[in-house]
Amino acid sequence: MIEVKRPGKLYIAGEYAVTQTGHRAIVVAIDKFIKISIKKSENTDKGQIKSFDNVIVNFLRDKKVYLEKYDNRFTYILSAINITELYLNTWVDSFDFYDIEIISEMEDDSGNKYGFGSSAAVTVAMVEAILKYYNADYDNAKLFKLSAIATLEINKKGSFGDLAAVVSGGAILYRKFDVNHVCHMLEKFNIVATVNANWEFLEIRKFDFPKSWKLYVGWTGKAASSLDLVEKIKHQEPTAREFHRDFLVSSEYIVEQIFEAFLTEDFDLLYRFIDQNRKLFVEFGNKYSSHIETDKLKLLSNIANKYHMASKLSGAGGGDCGIAIANNNENEIKLKDSWESKDIKFLYVNIYEG
Ligand code: PMV
Ligand code: MG
C-alpha cells in the first residue's frame, strides 16, 4: 500500500495579480492535510475510490479512467490519475486498477470547508501516489508540472500558486508561468517533453517564515464568490484595463516589499505592505463591483490591527479566511477572544515545512 499526505495552503499576498503570467504571490503550506492511500484492486475490471462521506465510487478504464456514475467531486482525482498515467505510459506497459482512499482534514465536522485548497492538495497527492505506485523517478519540479497539467485540463483561470505551496511546503514566493506556452508545448510535443521543458516565467522560491513571528487565521464563513472575478477581468473595457495595469504594478511592488520584509525580518515593513495589499483589494473590489473584503473580513483585520498585527484577507475573499501576522505571541488570546466575540472562527494552523 502506498500512502501520501499533502498540506493545505494559505495566500499571504499577491492574490488576483498572480493569475496573470509573470506575476507573483506569497503562499504558505499549512498543517491541514489530504491523505491518500492506494493499493492494487482485487478486481480486474474496475477500481474504487472511497472518499467524502465514506461513499464508494467505482471507476472503469477505456484508455482513460472514468467513473461508473458521474460525480463532479472527483474531477481533480480523475484528471490527476489520467495525466500521470499518460506521463508514465512510456515506461509502464499496462496500468492496474486501484483501490483508493482519500481522507480530508480540511473541513470541520459539519462539513465546512475553510478554503485551504483541498483541490490542490488532492491533485498533488493523487499525482504523487500514482508516481510512487509505479516506482517512478520524480522531483518537486515534475510533481508541480504534472499537477498543473492535471489542473489545466479542468480550469485554466487560476494561478497554480496553491499547487506550488502544496508541493514545496513552507513559505514560497511563486511566479505564474505562461499557460499558453505550456498548452502549446502539450499540443506540439508530448507530455514527457513538456514536463522536462523549461516553463517560461515559472519560479518557486522557498524562504523561511521568521521563527518568532506568528500566523493566525480567522474564518468568516462560507465564501460567496471565488474565481468569477478572474473571469470578469478578462472581459473588461478599456478604462478598466488601465486600472488593471496599475493594479498589477502595485501588487508586484507590494509582494516584493513583503518578501523583503520576511527575508530581513522587518515587521514594520511587513505591516505597512500587508496593509497596502489590503487597501488594493478594496479598490479592486470596488472597481469590479465585487465584495472581496466583506464586512466581516474588514472587522477581522481591524481587530488584528488593534493588536499590532498585520492583517488582510487570504485568497479570493468574499468570505472564507483572513490572516493576521504578529511578531510575537503576546496577544494571541486577546485576538482569539475578540474574533470569536464577532463570530469569526479562530483556526489553529501552523506552517508545514514538509
Ligand atoms: O480562494 P483561494 O484560496 O483559492 O485563492 C484564490 C487566489 C486567487 O489569486 C484569487 C486565484 C488564484 O488562483 O491565485
Ligand atoms: Mg478561498
Q: How does pLDDT run across 17-32, given as a tens digit for each residue?
A: 999 999 999 999 999 9
Q: Which of 9, 11, 30, 320, when mutated, tests ligand 1's pocket best, judged by the most ligand atoms within 8 Å of its CB?
A: 11
Per the CB < 8 A criterion, the answer to whether 291 and 303 are in contact is: no
Q: Determine the pLDDT at residue 227.
A: 57
214-347: CATH, from 2.130.10.10, 3.10.20.340, 3.30.450.20, 3.30.70.890: 3.30.70.890
Output the CA 316–ligand 1 centroid distance in Å: 5
Q: Determine the pLDDT at residue 225.
A: 58
Q: Determine the pLDDT at residue 133.
A: 98
Region 2-207: CATH code: 3.30.230.10
Show the low-confidence residues of the chain (pLDDT under 50): none
Identify which of 165, 159, 172 has the alpha carbon closest to the alpha carbon of residue 143.
Answer: 165
**Torsion-angle region of residue 11: left (phi > 0), alpha (psi -120 to 50) or beta?**
beta
Closest-approaching ligand to the CA atom of 9: 1
Output the CA 16–ligand 1 centroid distance in Å: 7
Closest-approaching ligand to the CA atom of 11: 1
Q: Is beta strand 47-50 parallel, antiparallel or unpaired with respect to 98-104?
A: parallel
C-alpha grid cell for residue 273? 505592505
**What is the Cα–Cα distance from 92 to 256, expressed in whole angstroms?**
44
For the question of whether the overall pTM of this predicted structure is more than 0.85, the answer is yes
Q: Whats the size of the chain, residue-wise?
A: 354
Write out residues with Cβ below 6 Å of ligand 1. Answer: 11, 15-16, 18-19, 115, 117, 158-159, 161, 315-316
C-alpha grid cell for residue 96? 492496474
Per the CB < 8 A criterion, the answer to whether 154 and 199 are in contact is: no
**What is the Cα–Cα distance from 50 to 222, expressed in whole angstroms?**
26
Longest dimension (CA), the chain: 62
Q: Determine the pLDDT at residue 334.
A: 98
**What is the Cα–Cα distance from 243 to 254, expressed in whole angstroms?**
16
Output the CA 317–ligand 2 centroid distance in Å: 6
Which residue's alpha carbon is at the smallest distance from atom 5 of ligand 1?
315
Q: Where are the domains positioned within the chain? A: 2-207, 214-347
Do 2-207 and 214-347 have matching folds?
no
**What is the Cα–Cα distance from 281 to 290, expressed in whole angstroms?**
10
